């Protein structure tokens, strides 16, 4: 998987992440989370570290390359890089599509995000799901690349700990999940017992949501987060966070 410095610079672009099959995780915190996850995911152990002289004694079992500060600045997405970045194989994190038999024995729940566009929203959602655990995240075609540097940073390393699937067609959900939930202002309250009985929780694009006809075709059960009515909507990441909390709250 070793890439030359010119190729590493290209990993800021999605097409090259797809071509080379890897992405960058920049900074101490992300590298620490990567190393922690690699203890349980052998495929992550093929990741490689690029460090400046200040980090040459960084303790890690991953293969390490020492480069100059100038080279580090050219590779990294941030204006003032810390001096340590990991090159991570995409295949180590990306799963195949969910099937009725792929859910864990601990009743893992699926969070499906339809055409989500904001990197910060996705990173925050991944962080929340990893915090609670026992979730997998499914991304529809047309969603922001989860290996985008902004998503990876916003996830604070959660991307290494959470089952993740990409390019999952919306119409495939009905065949793989018996009970699908979605959010709707006219739906039942999240506190309804039936909310916790679903297998997949569907959330739409930040601006457009999910087309009404497709929701009907999926037979999705509708639930609502009661509010004052002073404003029309909540931020997508906030909605997912509230739902994840409710699903993990003791009855």
What are the tens digits of pLDDT across the range 194-207? 999 999 999 988 88
Q: What is the pLDDT of residue 73?
A: 94
Q: What is the pLDDT of residue 105?
A: 44
Domain 5-92, second-level architecture: 2-Layer Sandwich (3.30)
Q: What is the pLDDT of residue 185?
A: 80
pLDDT per position as a tens digit, 21-43: 999 999 999 999 999 999 999 99
**What is the band of 106 on the pLDDT scale with cuts at 50, 70, 90?**
low
On whether the CB atoms of residues 74 and 9 are closer than 8 A, the answer is: yes
For 147-200, give the DSSP string: TSHHHHHHHTTGGGTS-EE-S--GGGHHHH-S-EEEEEEEEEETTSGGGGG-SE
Q: What is the pLDDT of residue 92?
A: 87
Triad 151, 146, 19: Cα angle to 5°: 120
Please state, in angstroms and rounded to a whole number, the distance separating the CA atoms of residues 111 and 248: 14
pLDDT reading at 90 higher than 70: yes
Q: What is the pLDDT of residue 237?
A: 94
On whether the CB atoms of residues 183 and 203 are closer than 8 A, the answer is: yes
pLDDT reading at 123 higher than 70: yes
| Residue among 156, 168, 51, 64 at smallest CA distance from 115 | 168
pLDDT per position as a tens digit, 145-192: 999 999 999 999 999 999 999 999 999 999 999 999 999 888 888 989
Alpha-carbon distances of 31 from 47, 87, 205, rounded to whole Å:
10, 10, 30
| Residue among 44, 45, 59, 52 at smallest CA distance from 84 | 52
The reported pTM is 0.90
Domain 109-248, second-level architecture: 3-Layer(aba) Sandwich (3.40)
Q: Which range is least confidently modeled, 46-55, 70-79, 138-147?
A: 70-79
Beta bridge mates, 89: 22
Helix (H, G, I), strand (E, B) or coil at 224: strand
DSSP label at 230? S
Q: What is the pLDDT of residue 107?
A: 75
Q: What's the whole-number average pLDDT of the chain?
A: 90
The arithmetic mean of pLDDT across residues 235-240, rounded, is: 93
Report domain extents, the chain: 5-92, 109-248
Same fold, 5-92 and 109-248: no
Please state, in angstroms and rounded to a whole number, the distance separating the CA atoms of residues 13 and 9: 9
pLDDT reading at 101 higher than 50: no
Please state, in angstroms and rounded to a whole number, the distance separating the CA atoms of residues 131 and 203: 19
DSSP label at 95? P
Tell me whether residue 181 is exposed, middle or buried, using C-beta atoms within 10 angstroms of its C-beta: 0 to 12, 13 to 18, 19 or more: buried
């Amino acid at each position: 998987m070793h890439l030359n410095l010119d190729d590493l610079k290209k990993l800021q672009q999605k097409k090259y992440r797809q071509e080379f099959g890897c992405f960058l995780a920049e900074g101490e915190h992300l590298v620490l989370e990567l190393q922690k996850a690699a203890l349980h995911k052998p495929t992550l152990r093929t990741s490689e570290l690029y460090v400046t002289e200040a980090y040459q004694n960084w303790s890690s079992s991953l293969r390490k390359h020492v480069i100059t500060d100038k080279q580090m600045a050219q590779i990294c997405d941030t204006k003032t890089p810390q001096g340590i970045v990991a090159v991570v194989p995409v295949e180590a994190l990306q799963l195949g599509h969910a099937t009725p038999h792929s859910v864990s024995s601990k009743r893992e729940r699926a969070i499906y995000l339809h055409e989500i566009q904001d990197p910060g929203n996705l990173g925050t959602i991944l962080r929340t799901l990893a915090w609670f655990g026992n979730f997998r995240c499914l991304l529809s075609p047309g969603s922001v690349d989860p290996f985008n540097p902004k998503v990876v940073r916003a996830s604070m390393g959660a991307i290494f700990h959470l089952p993740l699937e990409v390019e999952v067609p919306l119409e495939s959900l009905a065949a793989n999940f018996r009970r699908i939930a979605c959010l709707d202002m006219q739906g039942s309250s999240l506190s309804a017992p039936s909310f916790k009985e679903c297998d997949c929780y569907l959330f739409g694009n930040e601006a457009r949501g999910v087309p009404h006809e497709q929701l009907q075709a999926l037979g999705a059960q509708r639930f609502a987060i009661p509010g004052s009515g002073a404003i029309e909507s909540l931020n997508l990441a906030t909605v997912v966070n509230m739902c994840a909390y409710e699903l993990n709250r003791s009855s």
